Chain A
Amino acid sequence: MVKVIICVIAYLVLAPFVGGILAGLDRKISARMQGRVGPPILQPFYDVLKLTEKENITVNRVQDFYVMCFFIFVLVTGGLFFAGENLLLVMFTLTLASVFLIIAAFSSNSPYSEVGAERELLQMLAYEPMVLITCVGFYMFTGSFQVGQIMLSTQMPLPYLIGLFIGFVFILTIKFRKSPFDLSMSHHAHQELVAGLKTEFSGKTLALVEAAHWYENVFLLGMVFLFFVNGQWWGYVIGAVVCLGTYFLEILIDNSFARMKWQVAINSAWIVALVLGTVNLFMLLFI
């Protein structure tokens, strides 16, 4: 119990720092890939802190409430995950959080927000099957949906869940909001309709969205880590290294692709889920 509380508190306190620094590394590495010097590593923190210093404005009386709920439930998602709770519950909470973000964008009734919201919704449609199938894969392999139980596994899940791993990394491109699938909101202004989903968020509200994104990223990397646990220290090391490797891979993909049409996102994500996910699940049935 004490361990669980420590884990959750550690997540709530450390995740923004880790997430922020990862975001800073992202910008630095992206800049280097483009032959630029790039901003300081701490730049994302400056950005968020600056946003909190801006004037308090909003477009209606409910939008900020929805964003606050989004933030809270992203924290709950990660908290449940690091508390070793049920993976499906974690994923459903993440869906709840995403729905709040989408509703926040819809509530403004702004054309650009709405385009972003619809696209975010489409992204959800694209990645959700793969995420759920991954959870089922963990269950079939370890016999439990509880993250705590999965962590106790003495065998590294990766070789048995390799199809799911590839599929999950594929949809991470959508979840990390990276090109070619950064349809709903991008960190790059040049390929965005105004600012997509976050057009009408400003100041502290936008800061919350950014911070939630850091929390979410750390949680998603936690999912990647889960593929490598085997109860040994070197399993953890490999896991951590692969997490960083995955993050680097996503940055590389981000910089080598332009945004693609939404049809590509949904077609490819569903085909990946259908082929890799289903085949892997059937294989697990016979192992």
Chain B
Amino acid sequence: MSYITKSPWVIHYDGSSCNGCDIEVLACLMPMYDVERFGVINTGNPKHADVFLVTGSINEQNKNVVKQIYEQMPEPKVVVAIGICACNGGIFKECYNILGGVDTVIPVDAYVPGCAARPEAIIDAVVAGLGILEQKRAAMLEAPKAAPAVEEPAAEEAEEAEEAAAEAEEAPVEEAAEEAAEEGKEEA
């Protein structure tokens, strides 16, 4: 097992969220849920982060920023869309400036629905994201072995392969996250 799952550092970006989900994200870090138990640290710097938490939908103003934060995170990395707005645009979907969910600009690995998303669900999604992180790490190690001849195209191929792998993973995780969210609701 790689250490990547034992120390997921997150970066949190507020797209055009109403701040409801942001407060829930921060609640996870508070004594009540204390995700630092799992080694989670909120970094504020993409170059240190493994997990990208996005709340709110993507609009014309922030699409480049979200894209760049994602690009600046070193591999392996996962993206978690938090709240219904981040998943598909939510109630803002039809607005003139809204492009939609986070997956309109970057590949998303786990979706957390809800308005606002519950802390338990967020934690579950991050934990689910860790599994993907582990797989991406494995893919990263594989990549140079697969095509050692030419460097750059190989890297691209590897990325494509990773993306494919990630996409394959998305569905179950999403379900898992949703289930978790529903469970949370039931408990509440």
A–B contact via C-beta, under 8 angstroms: yes
Which residues of A are at the interface with B, using a C-beta cutoff of 8 A? 27, 31, 34-40, 43, 46-47, 49-50, 53-57, 189-190, 192, 194-195, 198-203, 206
B31 within 8 A of A: yes
B43–A27 CB distance below 8 A: no
Interface segment out of the listed B2-10, B96-104, B166-174: B2-10
Q: Is A31 a contact partner of B47 (Cβ separation < 8 A)? A: no
Q: Contacts A50-B3, A202-B48 given: A36-B140 contact, CB under 8 Å?
A: no
**Measured between alpha carbons, how far is A50 from B8 in the docked complex, in Å?**
9
- Interface of A (DSSP majority class): loop
Stretch from B33-41, B107-115, B180-188 that touches the partner:
B33-41
B interface residues with partner A (beta carbon < 8 Å): 2-4, 6-7, 9, 30-31, 34, 36-39, 41-45, 47-48, 50, 74-76, 137, 140
Q: In the complex the two chains form, is B48's CB within 8 Å of A31's CB? A: no
When distances are taken between beta carbons in the complex, the residues of chain B under 8 Å from A31 are 34, 36
Q: Which residues of A contact B74 (CB under 8 A)?
A: 54-57, 202-203
Residues of B within 8 A of A202 (CB): 47-48, 74
Contact of A43 among B7, B44, B50 (CB under 8 A): B7
Q: Number of A-B pairs whose CB atoms are under 8 Å?
A: 79
CB-contact partner of A35 in B2, B31, B38, B75, under 8 A? B31
With A47-B7, A50-B4 as contacts: A39 and B37 at CB distance below 8 Å? yes
Given contacts A31-B34, A34-B31, contact A53 B137 (CB under 8 A): yes
Please judge, given known A-B contacts A50-B4, A50-B7, A195-B44, whether A37 and B34 are in contact too, CB under 8 Å. yes
B185 to A: closest C-beta gap in Å? 25
Distance (whole angstroms) from the CB of A193 to the closest CB of chain B: 9
Top 9 nearest A-B pairs (CB, nearest first) are A55-B75, A55-B74, A46-B6, A49-B3, A202-B47, A195-B45, A50-B3, A36-B34, A50-B7
Residues of B within 8 A of A201 (CB): 47
- Ordered by A's residue number, 5 sampled pairs between the chains whose C-beta atoms are within 8 Å are A38-B34, A50-B2, A53-B2, A55-B75, A189-B42
Contacts of A195 in B (CB 8 A): 43-45, 47-48
Judge whether A199 and B3 touch: CB under 8 Å.
no
With CB as the reference atom, state the residue of chain A lying closest to B43. Answer: A189
Q: Which partner residue on chain A sits nearest B45 by CB separation?
A: A195
How many whole Å from B110's CB to the nearest CB in chain A? 19
CB-contact partner of A194 in B3, B7, B36, B45, under 8 A: B45
